[in-house]
Amino acid sequence: MVMEAPFAYTPLTPTSFLDRSALVFAERTAVVDGDQSWTYAEFRQRARRMAGMLAGLGVAPGDRVAVLAPNTHMLLEAHFGVPLAGGVLVALNSRLNGEELGTLLEHSGATVLLFDRTLADNARVAAARSSSAVRLVDAGDPESEYERLVAEAAELSLPVEDERSLLSINYTSGTTGGPKGVMYHHRGAYLQALAMAYHTRLDAESAHLWTLPMFHCNGWCFTWAVTAAGGRHICLPRFDPAEVWRLFRQERVSHFNAAPTVLTMLANAKEAAPVDWSLRMATGGAPPSPALLARLSELGIHVTHLYGLTETFGPMALCEWKPEWDDLPAGKRAQLRARQGVGNVIACPLRVVDDDGADVPADGETVGELAARGNDVMLGYYRDPEATAASLVGGWFKTGDVGVMHPDGYVEIRDRSKDIIISGGENVASIEVEQALVAHPAVLEAAVVAAPDPVWGEVPVAYVTLKDGQEVTDAELIEFTRGRLAHFKCPKRVVFEELPKTSTGKVEKYVLRAKAAALEPLGG
């Protein structure tokens, strides 16, 4: 018989990390943002006052609070202040335009939008597009409304009664191109933060530079992981290789995360030079090339390859490196590093399954779809039960990535089943770009696929068929899409031709991918 023991359980929530660090590391620097900095005691006070501010603006438990900002202290504080008020954090992609942001505001039902002044125009366009009133609060300098309201507010910290309740909504693009709000729960974020701290060796001496956007999977949960370790958050509002290298040296940065494209820029920057301290970084998406790994090694940067999705709180797997592999030939080491690996320390083991949900042979050859379940998998898609149901197979989440299982239990991705283009670490839904193209009066039909790019990893390339008697240039079409999409989603190149199709009229995208792969990169 299990005895009642109320003292043996408390709901897990990542906000508890700030309480602990404010006690243990009260006078240590927690946050650096330009020429401003705050200790852990001050960080906790500001987060609790932010919660009080939100309550004063009418935010009740369960209400959604949106934040539109680059990597600043305000966005970091929101990862604690919003849940401390009982709210649900909606960290918006700062690269989207006002219309796109308005769609996400409307879908989430956010009642408050905290925004950085550098993004004021997009914030106002987004709020105007929402069918309900949205309270706007500007931030970005000491004279902003945000700073005034935080200074005036009383501290607030509401308890979490259910650790599987909604903590945040993170938007990702699906194959339909429509908004899909991935729901994170407190338990998953807590455990994922601990996993990230463990695998990247964060501690109280760590200095984490925010090269990865905090809006992306809540910064892979490093917003909470660095805080749990008592490390130092160094905010970086805009990525610039020269500034990153300056901060590396000024702040003695020990950790950072970034897409492979960012690594390429850093490795080739004129400011790049070997460091004489421990500098660790984690990257996701395509594995770094052997040449890039060699260059980073010369610079003293240790790289960990991670794999995950928005739906899995960011990195759910990593290529767990074994010491005995250090003595293998370089080619074999690069081959091993290319694998996505095994589940992180709090994840369930990954599976590779066939269409019926059965495991494929672990032979490194038989392909199937990667499937996951466990504490680091989303609650589902917000206000979209159909999409949630479609993502499941036998109680497991289907990642949409096709790969193989090796005999040693490490997985390796071979292709993506979803038509998602990953450009500079950001997802681009091909159908969304296609819809923007066919809105042009001269376009009959369009298909968009990924093409390799030396800077961005992948870029969208459009294949377009024009209506009879119509004319338009590739430059005109690209400019046309820029009026409808964030610029990183727009095609880098437009090719005019008849689209290859099956007998049933379906566009053969694999043919177009092969053509796009053969194109000479435009660069930039």
Query: What's the pLDDT score for residue 1?
Result: 56
The β-bridge relationship of strands 420-423 and 411-416 is unpaired
Which residues on neighbouring strands pair with residue 355, listed in sequence order? none
- Which backbone phi and psi does 438 adopt, to 5 degrees? -75, -10
Distances in Å between the Cα of 428 and the Cα atoms of 95, 172, 260, 486 are: 12, 9, 17, 10
The per-residue pLDDT of the chain, averaged, comes to 92
275-316 pLDDT per residue, tens: 999 999 999 866 676 778 888 989 999 999 899 999 999 999
Domain ranges of the chain: 38-159, 421-518
Q: Residue 168's pLDDT is what?
A: 98
**Cβ atoms of residues 364 and 339 within 8 Å:** no
Q: Computed from CA positions of residues 495, 500, 501, 507, in that sequence, does the dihedral angle turn out positive or negative?
A: negative
Q: Superfamily assignment of 421-518 in CATH? A: ANL, C-terminal domain (3.30.300.30)
Q: SS3 sequence, 114-173?
A: EEEHHHHHHHHHHHHHCCCCCEEEEECCCCCHHHHHHHHCCCCCCCCCCCCCEEEEEEEE
Q: Which residue has the tokens 């949106």?
A: 66
Q: Beta partners for 139?
A: 116
Nearest to 175 by CA among 463, 420, 481, 439: 420
**What is the per-residue pLDDT for 419?**
65
pLDDT tens for residues 395-411? Answer: 999 998 888 999 999 99
Percentage, residues of the chain above pLDDT 90? 73
Whether pLDDT at 190 is above 90: yes
Higher pLDDT, 355 or 163: 163
Q: pTM for the complete prediction?
A: 0.84
Q: Predicted confidence band at 415 (pLDDT cuts at 50, 70, 90)?
A: low
Contacts of 415 (CB under 8 A, 6+ apart): 367, 401, 402, 403
Q: Which residue has the higher pLDDT, 127 or 426?
A: 127
Mean pLDDT of 208-218: 96
Q: Answer whether residue 523 shows pLDDT above 70.
A: no
Scan for tokens 């080491």, then name that residue: 333
Distance CA 353, CA 363 (A): 13
How far apart are the C-alpha atoms of 281 and 279, rounded to whole Å? 7
What are the DSSP calls for 385-443, one per residue?
HHHHHHTEETTEEEEEEEEEE-TTS-EEEEEESS-EEEETTEEEEHHHHHHHHHTSTTE
pLDDT at 468: 83
Q: Is 338 exposed, middle or buried (CB count within 10 Å of its CB: 0-12, 13-18, 19+)?
A: middle
pLDDT tens-digit map of 456-506: 888 999 999 998 899 999 999 999 999 889 989 999 999 999 988 754 345
Q: Which amino acid is at 144?
A: S
For the segment 231-250, the average pLDDT, to the nearest whole number, is 97
* 213-249 CB burial, b ≥16 within 10 A, e <16: bbbbbbbbbbbbbbbbbbbbbbbbbebebeebbebbe
More confident residue, 337 or 101: 101
**Lowest-confidence range among 415-419, 469-473, 513-517?**
415-419
pLDDT at 376 over 60: yes
For the ranges 39-43, 310-314, 366-370, the lowest mean pLDDT is seen at 366-370
Mean pLDDT of 138-148: 97
The span from the CA of 379 to the CA of 392, in Å, is 12
Summarised one tens digit per residue, pLDDT across range 254-263 is 999 998 778 8
Note the CATH number of domain 38-159: 3.40.50.980
User: Looking at the predicted structure, is the pLDDT value of residue 176 above 60?
Assistant: no
pLDDT of residue 175: 37
232 or 401, which is more confident:
232
- pLDDT value at residue 416: 62
The whole-number pLDDT of residue 119 equals 98
Region of 191 on the Ramachandran plot (φ > 0 left; ψ -120 to 50 alpha; else beta): alpha
Residues paired with residue 404 on neighbouring β-strands, in sequence order: 412
The Cα diameter of the chain in Å comes to: 81
Rounded to a whole number of angstroms, the distance between the first and last alpha carbons of the chain is 66
Q: Which amino acid is at 488?
A: F
Residue type (1 letter), 112: V
Q: By 3-state DSSP, what share of the chain in percent is helix, strand and coil, each rounded to 5?
A: 35, 25, 40
pLDDT digits (tens, 9 = 90+) for 64-75: 999 999 999 999
**What distances in angstroms separate CA 16 from CA 170, 201, 338, one per listed residue?**
21, 20, 36
DSSP H helical segments within 418-508, as ranges? 430-438, 474-482
**Closest among 59, 85, 88 to 156, alpha carbons compared:** 85
* Cα–Cα nearest to 315, from 500, 485, 473, 191: 191
- Residue 497 identity: E
Place of tokens 């933060």: 193
Contact 121, 94 (CB under 8 A): no
